Amino acid sequence: MIRTGVSTNEKQPLSGAVYFEFVPIGRAVKVIAMCSVTGVEVAIVGDSKAKQKDLERLALRRLKRKLESDNKPELKFVPSRGSYH
């Protein structure tokens, strides 16, 4: 199942749509969340008896963390100072 444009009560909404895909794996379900703007996707595995909204919320939080970490400047080693900046 794929859902788009999910609205949540999270602090920072994502721009664009978020696509969710649910893949049953035995007693578990793999949830893939993909940002339509950046193409970044993340996956979680949860209990197949869990509520769909709860799994979506968890996958969305992981996607937001991934997008935030991608936007942070990388640490660069400065040889003259011998440390990372």
Q: What is the pLDDT of residues 32-85, one digit of tens each?
A: 999 988 899 999 999 999 999 999 999 999 999 998 888 766 555 555 554 444
Best CA proximity match to 23, nearest among 36, 32, 10, 12: 32
What is the rounded average pLDDT of the residues 23-32? 96
Amino acid at 54: D
What integer pLDDT is reported at residue 84 of this predicted model?
43
Does residue 2 have a pLDDT over 50? no
How far is C-alpha 42 from the geometric centre of its chain's CA atoms? 5
What integer pLDDT is reported at residue 80 of this predicted model?
55
- Total residue count of the chain as it appears in this document: 85
